Amino acid sequence: MKTKIILLTFGWILSMHMNAQEAPKASIAVAFPHLENFDVSKEIVAKLIQIELIKLDEYRVFDEFDMKEATDSDERFLTDCYGKNCLIDLGVQLGADYIVSSSILVYGGKSVITMKFIEVKTGEIYKSDVREFIEDNKEVQRMMQLMVREMHGIKVHSEDLARIKYDDQPIIKDNVGKVNNNGPRVGYSFFTGDLAEFARRPEDQGGLDIFPSATLIGYQLEKQYIGTENFSALGEVLFMVSGLEKGYALPSLTLMNGFRFGKAGWEIAFGPGFGLKRTSQGFFDTDGVYGDAGRYWRSSDFRSSPHYDPSVDNQPAYPLKETLDQEGNSVSFNTRWVMAFGRTFRAGGLNIPVNIFYSSMKNASMIGLSVGFNVVKN
């Protein structure tokens, strides 16, 4: 007896659950919106709202083909159906439970969007909302997504909202206009001045014996400290290693202050760079006084050569100076000033920062191009 009761109870619970699952969803249709100064067609806007309603999985959504049957039967539904009575007539014609009315007004650098859900049977407004967004046709789907989700009590990502929300004053915020470009960097640079000489110099004279250029690889970290709709101020830290393909590892650390402008992501940045350098005291025999013209002589090498006679205090014919030297016995910090200009390109969820940079130091410089990537996380 107890087994039968348990089985009957289980069967009743299962039946109730299946009935609940099979309960039909309310049907909903999207009327063509009213648009003013907006370049996207009303058909596309209506379709985007339909897509966001389908994503909710709460309604049976009429698509554009279902809507065509109704619009073909009454021209009002296609050209001038914005009032409640017309919208209810459209809902009755379709047999929908709800009809969605919307409008977009673009004025003064902002998009004002109104959206209403009308219950066809009662004629009452079921849900409604009015929001102000930035003026950007490319963000219309995100705007519709945010409105539809918030009207149904679904929390939206704060960064998504901040990206398209309109502010009537340039209020400073941490995430407004933010493009997070943390990520790896690769590039190529060319040397000039003393750095180019150091690169070309033979290894047996303390040089690198390479073409005066090198690849770069590293990682950039950045933090936005000012953000408005079309402007961001950033602190950036960039660690790079150059020359790996030529058998050398020359590290550097750069601290920059950056400014990013507009929706296109143009950026300028500048700041100090730091590295380590190995040097020695020596001279270049430019006139060939001690043999091969142009040879670099370290002071220690010159003093151990036949050209030096301590009994007569024989000094080189050239003044000694601190010179870059891979075999030098002096290691110190090398400072430089770095300036960069570039743009962040976007491909879906991928940010691709591209920058031209110039690094200036005493009697030398570097100029080059760097490229990075960063996957946007919403």
214 contact partners, CB below 8 Å, separation of at least 6 = 188, 189, 191, 199, 242, 243, 245, 246, 248, 250
Structure tokens of 85?
């009575």
Q: How far apart are CA 217 and CA 187, in angstroms?
A: 7
Kindly list the domain boundaries of the chain, sorted by start residue: 2-164, 183-375
Other CB atoms closer than 10 Å to residue 123's CB: what's the count? Answer: 12
Each of the 378 residues of the chain gets a pLDDT tens digit; together they read 555 555 555 555 555 555 445 567 899 999 999 999 888 898 999 999 999 999 999 999 998 888 877 777 777 887 788 888 898 988 898 889 999 999 999 988 889 999 999 999 998 998 999 998 888 888 888 899 999 999 998 888 777 777 787 766 544 444 444 556 788 999 999 999 999 999 999 999 999 999 999 999 999 998 888 877 678 888 999 999 988 887 888 899 999 999 988 777 899 999 999 998 899 999 999 998 898 899 999 998 898 888 888 776 678 889 999 999 988 889 888 899 999 999 988 876 788 899 999 999 988 999 999 999 887 654
Q: How far apart are CA 74 and CA 139, in angstroms?
A: 32
pLDDT digits (tens, 9 = 90+) for 126-137: 899 999 888 888
In this structure, are residues 270 and 217 in contact, taking their beta carbons and an 8 Å threshold?
Answer: no
- The 3-class secondary structure across the chain, one letter per residue, is CHHHHHHHHHHHHHHHHHHHHCCCCEEEEECCCEEECCCCCHHHHHHHHHHHHHHHCCEEECCHHHHHHHHHHCCHHHHCCCCHHHHHHHHHHHCCCEEEEEEEEEECCEEEEEEEEEECCCCCEEEEEEEEEECCHHHHHHHHHHHHHHHCCCCCCHHHHHHHECCCCCCCCCCCCCCCCCEEEEEEEEEEHHHHHHHHCCHHHCCCCCCCEEEEEEEEEEEEEEEECCEEEEEEEEEEEECHHHCCCEEEEEEEEEEEECCCCEEEEEEEEEEEEEEEEEEEECCCCCCCCCEEEEHHHHHCCCCCCHHHCCCCCCCCEEEECCCCCEEEEEEEEEEEEEEEEEECCEEEEEEEEEEEECCEEEEEEEEECEECCC
In this structure, are residues 92 and 120 in contact, taking their beta carbons and an 8 Å threshold?
Answer: yes
2-164 classified as CATH 1.10.3720.10 = no
CATH code at 183-375:
2.40.160.20
Structure tokens of 304?
């151990």
The total number of residues shown for the chain amounts to 378
In this structure, are residues 175 and 206 in contact, taking their beta carbons and an 8 Å threshold?
Answer: no
Q: How far apart are CA 59 and CA 249, in angstroms?
A: 61
